[in-house]
């Protein structure tokens, strides 16, 4: 099974996938491994690992602070790959990585190393569809799932393009803005999920600003996955992996029932095409 | 499937490496720019303001005493320091505010290093009645205080940036984050030929008035093209502006001068073109100062405007194609250029510009008498008097001795 197949298979049919994020190397190189373990114990379906970059343009203050600390701790790409391989045996791992880190390693060499470490998918926030060209082909060759961003400002035409490029999942950005915990789900988020779903057969995940079990449950009615980052990094900062894991368990409880109810109402309409169905 | 119309590339450099959220705004900007750039009303409004508000064309001056001292080519100054607000930055800010106004954007944001772009943006925002926020690194706020006051007097909010080295790179990142968040009602007036497409091209076009005027003025004054044009390069907008008309023209050497900071060997410099390698920062692929792992390094220069670890993608292209030469000058050497220009020509230049002045001496000697060299005096040095006095005051004894012609 390729990484992208494994990633798609990780989206359960009967409920939304739980996709927690961690910054590699935060709060320390060792403690980041514990954070990953806590996520798995809390029932994560996919773990998203942020590869630290000095200038993370898509990230708000919370995640910026974690990447700054991680870089001070010495979290380079080799460390991130090692961290990924330690988790990837049990749960699909996705890298969130800024393009210069990929480019500096060399695109092919980066993909080879990622595949070897068991990384299933890539989110490259500063590589929009316009620039993805050859990179997408190479991801295909290495079987690593590409997970492009879709934004509330994306036109329907672009969403179709993005949807086609997504060999992993489509990462819907809930709000025009950077990452960071917000009190409630922005009103445009559900609309974006619907517009995206109409134009892709890839799973559709929602991220940016989901910071309460309630917001996650709300997203769960339309999304195939919820990505939670800043809130968890805040909790790790305050109380370590244990605190983050406990909170994540609550989110899991909140989202488990949602999709089943919806599923009964809508039958198959909201289902993504999973590998079992489509290939 | 949509295909790219304008690739936004200069050779293999440039592009649009930004989060999806911004793509729509960049497309909107590009469409509007294509629509208005040749619109007679737009062109007339821009030309009228360039004349009445900015004071264009800026003068073209024979620098007689420097010419005699250096003993080489005739030295000419293109006086962008005499443009309203004191630097070339106004050329770009003015064009972009006209675009923003036509796009119906009520809020303007900008990043600034030396503060000249911040002041230019604050100025045009006041002229057009727009809300304006300028991001500026805390370190730059300290060393360019007069410009901070000017922005505030013009009604702009200056937001200090406290991440990283607290200089231009960090201010640019924060401005981009603001734009991602407020993209619907906000136009980002980027200050140099950097950022995602179409910015490098728009800023170049708006700055290319400098080179066009040089061409005309050179023919009036000495009946030929200049033999060399020298300009400082941070992001590179004054240099592209001065070079663009002459790119590929036989007999015209184009020389960009980067900041060597405390010396290339110390690693504390801003010489992206000569010391960096290709990479992606702030939305484009260009030469970038970075570690082997692709982390962006902090730049250093005594001049805040050259304190940037990357450079406009078109410069990367001009360098690789051999259309322009790039060299670098240290902080100390720039201060020498600063002193020479102040004392011999009665013009206190910006510290950025001082890099070009210092290197021009070598070029003037290489060219020899009878040739003509143009230095783009990109900005005036009022903003730098505190930093320069501190740096030069270290050796107060010497500055006493070096009065007059030296």
User: What integer is the mean pLDDT of B299-320?
Assistant: 96
Residue B75, SS3? strand
* pLDDT score of B26: 96
* pLDDT score of B163: 87
Q: What is the pLDDT of residues B142-166, one digit of tens each?
A: 988 999 999 999 999 999 999 888 9
Contact A173 B21 (CB under 8 A): yes
* pLDDT score of A259: 60
Contact B23 A130 (CB under 8 A): yes
Give the lowest-confidence range in B128-137, B179-188, B196-205, B330-339.
B179-188
Contact A57 B282 (CB under 8 A): yes
Question: Taken in order B138, A181, A54, A176, is the CA torsion positive or negative?
Answer: negative
Give the lowest-confidence range in A31-35, A141-145, B339-343, B388-392.
B388-392
* pLDDT score of A262: 57
Contact B280 A126 (CB under 8 A): yes
In contact, B210 and B80? CB cutoff 8 Å: yes
Name the band, by pLDDT with cuts 50, 70 and 90, for residue A274: very low
Contact A161 B290 (CB under 8 A): no
Catalytic residue among A48, A218, A222, A224: A48
Q: In what order do the strands lie in the sheet with B9-10?
A: B9-10, B13-14, B284-288, B277-281
Name the band, by pLDDT with cuts 50, 70 and 90, for residue A260: low
Q: Is the pLDDT confidence value at A273 over 50?
A: no
Residue of A nearest to B280 (CA): A100
- Predicted-complex ipTM score: 0.92
Residues of A with CB under 8 A from a CB of B: 53-55, 57-58, 60, 64, 68, 71, 76-77, 98-105, 125-131, 148-155, 157-158, 160-162, 164, 173, 176-178
**Token output for A179:** 């990452």
Measure the CA–CA gap between B349 and B88, rounded to whole angstroms.
13
Name the band, by pLDDT with cuts 50, 70 and 90, for residue A277: very low
Contacts of A104 in chain B (CB under 8 A): 279, 290-294
Contact A102 B294 (CB under 8 A): yes
Question: For residue B379, which of B169, B112, B133 has the smallest C-alpha distance?
Answer: B112
Q: Is the pLDDT confidence value at A23 over 50?
A: yes
Q: Is the pLDDT confidence value at A226 over 80?
A: yes
**Token output for A37:** 């373990």
* pLDDT score of B382: 92
> Where would I find the H helices in B115-267?
116-128, 138-143, 145-153, 168-181, 199-207, 209-222, 237-243
The shortest C-alpha distance from B301 to chain A (Å) reads 20
Residues of B with a catalytic annotation lie at: 89, 111, 378
Name the band, by pLDDT with cuts 50, 70 and 90, for residue A275: very low
Q: Is the pLDDT confidence value at A137 over 50?
A: yes
Q: Is the pLDDT confidence value at B46 over 50?
A: yes
Measure the CA–CA gap between B189 and B169, rounded to whole angstroms.
15
User: Between these two residues, B349 and A254, which has the higher pLDDT value?
Assistant: B349
Q: Is the pLDDT confidence value at B401 over 90?
A: no
Contacts of B177 in chain A (CB under 8 A): 57, 60, 178
Measure the CA–CA gap between A101 and B264, rounded to whole angstroms.
24
* pLDDT score of A184: 78
Q: Among partner residues A55, A131, A158, which is closest to B16 by beta-carbon distance?
A: A131
* pLDDT score of B336: 97
Identify the bridge partners of residue B123 per DSSP, sorted by sequence position.
none
Residue of B nearest to A102 (CA): B294
Q: Is the pLDDT confidence value at A221 over 90?
A: no
A48 is catalytic: yes
Contacts of B295 in chain A (CB under 8 A): 53-54, 71, 101
Would you call the peptide bond into B253 cis, given omega within 30 degrees of 0 as the criterion?
no
Contact B21 A151 (CB under 8 A): yes
Q: Among partner residues A54, A154, A178, which is closest to B24 by beta-carbon distance?
A: A154
Contact A153 B183 (CB under 8 A): yes
Catalytic residue among A45, A59, A218, A224: A59
In contact, A15 and A25? CB cutoff 8 Å: no
Residue of B nearest to A60 (CA): B177
In contact, B110 and B131? CB cutoff 8 Å: no
User: What integer is the mean pLDDT of B243-260?
Assistant: 98
Question: For residue A19, which of A6, A3, A36 has the smallest C-alpha distance?
Answer: A36
Residue of A nearest to B309 (CA): A55
Q: To the nearest whole percent, how much of chain B has pLDDT over 70?
A: 95
Contact B4 A130 (CB under 8 A): yes
The shortest C-alpha distance from A209 to chain B (Å) reads 13
Which CATH architecture fits A3-264? Alpha-Beta Barrel (3.20)
* pLDDT score of A265: 53
Q: What is the pLDDT of residues B49-73, one digit of tens each?
A: 999 999 999 999 999 999 999 999 9
User: What integer is the mean pLDDT of B169-174?
Assistant: 94
Mutation pick from B21, B173, B183 vs chain A, by most beta carbons of A within 10 Å, is: B21
In contact, B201 and B338? CB cutoff 8 Å: no
Name the band, by pLDDT with cuts 50, 70 and 90, for residue A176: confident
Would you call the peptide bond into A45 cis, given omega within 30 degrees of 0 as the criterion?
no
What does the domain layout of chain A look like in residue ranges?
Answer: 3-264
The 3-state secondary structure of B32-51 reads HHHHHCCCHHHHHHHHHHHH
Contacts of A150 in chain B (CB under 8 A): 20
Give the lowest-confidence range in A234-238, A261-265, B383-387.
A261-265
* pLDDT score of A182: 77
Q: Is the pLDDT confidence value at A101 over 50?
A: yes
The shortest C-alpha distance from B34 to chain A (Å) reads 19
Backbone dihedral angles phi then psi of residue B14, each to the nearest 5 degrees: 115, -135
Identify the bridge partners of residue A123 per DSSP, sorted by sequence position.
A96
Contacts of B1 in chain A (CB under 8 A): 160-161, 164
Name the band, by pLDDT with cuts 50, 70 and 90, for residue B7: confident
The shortest C-alpha distance from A68 to chain B (Å) reads 9
Contacts of A68 in chain B (CB under 8 A): 163
């Amino acid at each position: 099974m390729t990484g992208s197949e494994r990633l798609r298979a990780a989206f359960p049919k009967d409920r939304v996938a739980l996709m927690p994020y961690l910054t590699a190397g935060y709060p320390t190189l060792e403690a980041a491994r514990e954070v990953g373990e806590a996520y798995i114990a809390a029932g994560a379906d996919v773990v998203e690992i942020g590869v630290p970059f000095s200038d993370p343009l898509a990230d708000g203050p919370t995640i910026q602070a974690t990447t700054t600390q991680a870089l001070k701790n010495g979290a380079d790409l080799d460390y991130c790959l090692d961290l990924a391989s330690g988790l990837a045996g049990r749960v699909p791992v996705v890298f969130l990585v800024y393009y210069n880190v990929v480019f500096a390693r060399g695109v092919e060499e980066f993909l080879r190393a990622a595949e070897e470490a068991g990384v299933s998918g890539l989110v490259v926030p500063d590589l929009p569809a316009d620039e993805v060209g050859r990179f997408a082909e190479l991801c295909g060759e290495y079987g690593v799932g590409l997970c492009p961003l879709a934004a509330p400002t994306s036109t329907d035409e672009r969403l179709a393009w993005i949807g086609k490029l997504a060999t992993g999942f489509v990462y819907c950005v809930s709000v025009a803005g950077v990452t960071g915990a917000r009190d409630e789900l922005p009103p445009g988020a559900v609309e974006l999920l619907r517009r995206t779903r109409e134009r892709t057969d890839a799973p559709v995940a929602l991220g940016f600003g989901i910071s309460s079990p309630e917001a996650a449950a709300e997203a769960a009615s339309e999304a195939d996955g919820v990505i939670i980052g800043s809130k968890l990094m805040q909790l790790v900062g305050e109380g370590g992996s244990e605190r983050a894991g406990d909170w994540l368990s609550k989110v899991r409880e909140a989202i488990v029932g949602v999709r089943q109810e919806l599923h009964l109402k809508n039958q198959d309409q909201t289902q993504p095409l999973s590998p079992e169905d489509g290939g | 499937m949509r295909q790219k119309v304008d690739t936004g590339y200069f050779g293999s450099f440039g592009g649009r490496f930004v989060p999806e959220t911004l793509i729509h705004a960049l497309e909107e900007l590009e469409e509007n720019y294509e629509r208005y750039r040749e619109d007679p009303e737009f062109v007339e409004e821009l030309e009228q303001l360039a004349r009445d508000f900015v004071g264009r064309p800026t003068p073209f001056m024979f620098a007689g005493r420097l010419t005699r001292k250096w003993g080489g080519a005739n030295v000419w100054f293109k006086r962008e320091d005499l443009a309203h607000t004191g630097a070339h930055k106004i050329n770009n800010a003015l064009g972009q505010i006209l675009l923003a106004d036509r796009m119906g954007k009520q809020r303007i944001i900008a990043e600034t290093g030396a503060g000249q772009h911040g002041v230019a943006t604050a100025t045009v925002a006041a002229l057009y009645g727009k809300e304006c926020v300028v991001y500026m690194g805390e370190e730059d706020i300290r060393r360019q205080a007069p410009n901070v006051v000017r922005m505030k007097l013009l009604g702009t909010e200056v937001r200090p940036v406290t991440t990283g080295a607290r200089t231009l790179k960090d201010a640019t990142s924060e401005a981009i984050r603001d734009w991602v968040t407020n993209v619907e009602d906000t136009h980002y007036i980027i200050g140099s030929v950097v950022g995602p497409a179409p910015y490098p091209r728009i800023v170049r076009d708006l700055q290319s008035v400098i080179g066009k005027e040089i061409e005309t003025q050179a023919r009036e004054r000495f009946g030929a093209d200049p033999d060399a044009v020298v300009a400082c390069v941070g992001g590179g907008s004054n240099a592209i502006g001065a070079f663009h008309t002459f790119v590929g023209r036989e007999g015209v050497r184009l020389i960009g001068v980067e900041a060597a900071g405390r010396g290339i060997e110390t690693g504390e410099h801003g010489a992206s073109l000569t010391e960096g390698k290709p990479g992606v920062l702030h939305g484009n692929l260009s030469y970038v100062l970075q570690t082997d792992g692709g982390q962006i390094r902090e730049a250093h220069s005594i001049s805040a405007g050259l304190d940037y670890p990357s450079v406009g993608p078109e410069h990367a292209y001009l360098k690789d194609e051999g259309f322009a030469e790039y060299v670098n000058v240290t902080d100390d050497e720039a201060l020498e250029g600063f002193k020479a220009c102040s004392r011999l020509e009665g013009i206190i230049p910006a510290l950025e510009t001082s890099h070009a002045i210092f290197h021009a001496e070598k070029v003037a000697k290489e060219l020899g008498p009878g040739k003509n060299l143009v230095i783009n005096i990109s900005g005036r040095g009022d903003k730098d008097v505190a930093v320069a006095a501190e740096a030069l005051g270290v050796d107060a004894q010497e500055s006493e001795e070096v009065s007059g012609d030296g």
